[in-house]
Chains A and B, each alone.
Chain A
């Protein structure tokens, strides 16, 4: 989990040019993601069977799960201890990486389908246009492919990809003269309550601050809640969230990254991350509530 180090992806390092292929542009990687290309696990992993690899990996995954609710600093120490540099990647990630190295197209397509929408949503916060954001995403995928041999499983493959994305996006932002740290990239998105104050009883009321217009239960069958229309609404609402909220909600809730992974990637404090997540989620909940109320009407 090299990326849990707050400084792990702060300093760009230039990637080695590989065989001068025209698309191998100078890109930057998170420092924690760049190995010497010849670590023991790379040769070791190939030499042992899948069963052995799984047996070796299980304790590490369990440790990661146990650490879930601890503070970032606490967890950082624990993960460092249980995941020495150069240890084998998570079993699923190891299979993905091997399939990619083998040139398996469906593995690549699947990964691209799953990560690219979030990558675009994150990249647009760093560069001036959607077109440039798309270039950033393409450049990132090429950097991922050419850098596969340097993936050591210190973070999940996904987190590693997002680390590369953020470095490419930041350096592109510099070139486009639009680079500012994430933490101060945008004016305070908004402050004040996340729920309309008009929904609560006013001061002077017998029960000030308590619901006057409480939310109604959605009581929807699963299929209705996950219907195409609901998802379309939600996606549209996500797209128009303030950039920092959108980035955090994408990484946490769409992609399912841990809080400390997101803090490390974006270089923000845990409290700040929670505020952004809360405001984003509260907005999305309101959009869903509005939709449910319309549907009932």
Chain B
């Protein structure tokens, strides 16, 4: 088959995570990267998956309800009061 056409776009989008995780076998990886070189749609798709992962990584903070935080902080103070630091 022609270089870059050994994998279809609808197949490629299903193995993007395997590609990003580095778990594709050598042959599939070669077909994947050859396809990316000539397919703007797939190139964009893969890039957007990377961006999605990156934005998801910014969600770690700022989502805790204040009452939950207060409860946990109260528990921490209780623990602290009942313990001898570093003893």
Any B CB within 8 A of the CB of A274: yes
Q: What's the Cα separation between A194 and B52 when bound, in Å?
A: 15
How many chain A residues touch B (CB < 8 A): the figure is 61
Q: What's the Cα separation between A235 and B64 when bound, in Å?
A: 12
Contacts A23-B75, A108-B76 known; A253 to B16 CB distance under 8 Å? no
Any B CB within 8 A of the CB of A289: yes
Not counting A109-B69, A225-B55, A278-B14, a sample of 10 additional A-B residue pairs whose C-beta atoms are within 8 angstroms of each other reads A23-B75, A103-B83, A105-B77, A105-B80, A114-B61, A117-B63, A211-B9, A235-B59, A278-B17, A285-B45
Contacts A145-B79, A209-B8 known; A278 to B16 CB distance under 8 Å? yes
Q: What's the Cα separation between A170 and B76 when bound, in Å?
A: 24
A108 touches B55 (CB 8 A): no
Q: How far is the CB of A103 from chain B (nearest CB, A)?
A: 4
A230 touches B55 (CB 8 A): yes
Q: Which residues of A contact B68 (CB under 8 A)?
A: 116, 134, 137
Q: How far is the CB of A71 from chain B (nearest CB, A)?
A: 8
Could you write out 18 A-B pairs with CB less than 8 Å apart? A102-B85, A108-B72, A108-B76, A109-B73, A116-B69, A118-B60, A137-B68, A141-B72, A141-B75, A142-B79, A193-B14, A209-B8, A216-B44, A218-B48, A225-B55, A226-B58, A255-B60, A285-B51
Query: Which 5 A-B residue pairings sit nearest by Cβ, starting from the closest?
Result: A214-B41, A209-B8, A278-B17, A211-B41, A253-B56
A195 touches B75 (CB 8 A): no
Q: Which residues of B contact A195 (CB under 8 A)?
A: 10, 13-14, 45
B9 touches A112 (CB 8 A): no
Contacts A226-B58, A238-B56, A281-B17 known; A69 to B22 CB distance under 8 Å? yes
Any A CB within 8 A of the CB of B27: no
**Which residues between 15 and 34 of chain B lie within 8 Å of chain A, taking CB atoms?**
16-18, 21-23
B55 touches A288 (CB 8 A): yes
Q: Which of A234, A254, A285 has the most CB of B within 10 A?
A: A285
A108 touches B41 (CB 8 A): no
B55 touches A226 (CB 8 A): yes
**Which residues between 219 and 250 of chain A lie within 8 Å of chain B, taking CB atoms?**
225-226, 230-231, 234-235, 238, 249
Any B CB within 8 A of the CB of A11: no
Q: B44's contact among A105, A117, A217, A231, by CB below 8 Å, is which?
A: A217
